[in-house]
Structure 1
């Protein structure tokens, strides 16, 4: 595989907001299909995670990753709504010059991907959903419940309630809330695999947190006080005709297996892949298997 250096651009949306966008795999082969990958955790995550996850496809795809408005290096300017984030994806699709593309969403990015698929199925070659859910209230309450009952965690209960209900006091409140829950995202220690999870080495980047990351509580609050309680596509899953791969870690306590099973059961002809040794991110927990499963799926849609 020939290494193709990513190019970083600032792309302006129709309302003047600038997004930090990175294209990987752009070269003279303009016929390569486009894959747009969405990060999770608005106001916390950045394009770092999807870049690390999907760069391996750059010899056969143009991979586009970006910091959503309100996250990372993009403008901290709302509205922070699913409709607006979906419109931003549409603008980036056109900017990339693609009529159709593969959309991959992880965690909160999966919510956006599902809403996009309901609205714009005609634009999709394929849909990849990784560790996500189809119903917001049930999902956020389940995640909070699992956090508050996990023996590995020692959390400030009131602060976690503020995080998951979208009522953070300020950015500092957000910054203090995240480190205390990091272990719940990892799979249990398994000596037959790669050994114990290292506190900040392996987990620091799981949500795309890097030197550009900025805790933006306004984005998180909008996402979890307004967007998530209104998000429910369970009755619309049957209308998604796009070839779909659903991936989940067996030990995911943020978006548990039953949520992915519900999505896979609802989308006709979809494929469910459960990663037995993974937590919230099989792409990092079982990288080799994840890449093979991804390639097997993508070969069926291009």
Structure 2
């Protein structure tokens, strides 16, 4: 692990995008029922974590990583509209997804939250921080990008990979949001999944393929409509919340350069690079990543004496 700027539950590699295996409560937010799980002390600071990969991701990803902090923080994870077990009423715009985050903040009864997210969830964490700046106490990002420039880098990395030979047509379909149905999304997902991890294990890749909840409509909208318009570089200098940025050294889809740009734009932010991780340092270097996040939050968002972490 290396650090730049101001910075300084062990886990087997598991499916980052797997469906959650615990029961959710269903909460109506902005006319759409969301699958939500809440962990941790009721009087602790609230952390809302957004999963990545619309139409492929689910609350299982942030539950596995940020759920480790539920001994100290009130952790809220959920399936975004159109993903996982949540309803799929549109629209699937960044504005709507950010409004849903704020609806969850109101529902949980928090004036301010720690906002967290990885990959596409990082897009949404930054969207929320720039749309609702007064509501954010701290911002935690993982393997994400400030704009859509990562797509060109990712496509080049995929086609140059010595690990597997990627089908260009399937790569283009998933990146351009042109998959035909859930089965086609599964096939395209299987094509690029070998690129994600620091260490490649074909058996674990197939486990992820089988565990992923496929919702092609949300995926297509995100990649054909949202990402072509996505660019937060002009507004990131206005972020005032303390910000931690983490990234794996060999991340192929949102490379280190993307996180470096975020760190250069967000005043006083901290960038931490995990040297033996791909797109998932929260899994591949779980202990170090969790320690980094805990220490950052303890500094910028200390738990009040009234909170009882033992509960």
Global fold match (TM > 0.5): yes
Deviation at 1:8, TM superposition (A): 2.6
Structure 1 pair 141/46, CA: closer, same or farther in 2 (3 Å)?
same
Deviation at 1:97, TM superposition (A): 0.6
Is this contact kept in 2: 1:246–1:271, CA < 8 A?
Answer: yes
**What is the match of residue 192 of structure 1?**
none
**2:85 corresponds to 1:73:** yes
**2:40 corresponds to 1:20:** no
**What is the match of residue 189 of structure 2?**
178
Deviation at 1:7, TM superposition (A): 6.9
1:16-95 map, 5 Å:
17-26=32-41, 30-95=42-107
Residues 64-83 of structure 1, C-alpha deviations (whole Å, 9 max, x = no match): 00011111111122111101
Is this contact kept in 2: 1:283–1:290, CA < 8 A?
Answer: yes
Secondary structure of 1:300's counterpart equals helix
Deviation at 1:204, TM superposition (A): 4.3
Secondary structure of 1:234's counterpart equals coil
Once the two structures are overlaid, the 10-residue window that deviates more, 44-53 or 72-81, is: 72-81
Is this contact kept in 2: 1:24–1:55, CA < 8 A?
Answer: yes
Secondary structure of 2:217's counterpart equals helix
**Residues in 2 aligned to 1:284 and 1:225: alpha-carbon distance in whole angstroms:** 29
**2:220 corresponds to 1:221:** yes
**Residues in 1 aligned to 2:206 and 2:118: alpha-carbon distance in whole angstroms:** 16
Deviation at 1:151, TM superposition (A): 1.9
Is this contact kept in 1: 2:173–2:188, CA < 8 A?
Answer: no
**What is the match of residue 114 of structure 1?**
126
1:170-209 map, 5 Å:
170-187=181-198, 189=199, 197-201=200-204, 204=207
Q: Structure 1: any 5+ residue segments left out of the alignment?
A: 1-5, 190-196
**What is the match of residue 256 of structure 2?**
257
Secondary structure of 1:85's counterpart equals helix
Q: 2:146 aligns with which of 128, 134, 140?
A: 134
Q: TM-score, normalised by structure 2?
A: 0.86
Residues 115-139 of structure 1, C-alpha deviations (whole Å, 9 max, x = no match): 1111111101100110000111x12
Is this contact kept in 2: 1:101–1:124, CA < 8 A?
Answer: yes
Structure 1 pair 109/98, CA: closer, same or farther in 2 (3 Å)?
same
CA RMSD of aligned residues (A): 1.6
Q: Which is bigger in relative contact order (C-alpha 8 A, separation at least 6)?
A: 2
Is this contact kept in 2: 1:11–1:21, CA < 8 A?
Answer: yes
**Residues in 2 aligned to 1:78 and 1:300: alpha-carbon distance in whole angstroms:** 39
Residues 242-294 of structure 1, C-alpha deviations (whole Å, 9 max, x = no match): 10000000010110000000000110000000001110010001011001100
Is this contact kept in 1: 2:171–2:191, CA < 8 A?
Answer: no
Is this contact kept in 1: 2:193–2:205, CA < 8 A?
Answer: no
**What is the match of residue 10 of structure 2?**
none
**Residues in 1 aligned to 2:258 and 2:178: alpha-carbon distance in whole angstroms:** 25
Q: 1:149 aligns with which of 151, 157, 160?
A: 160
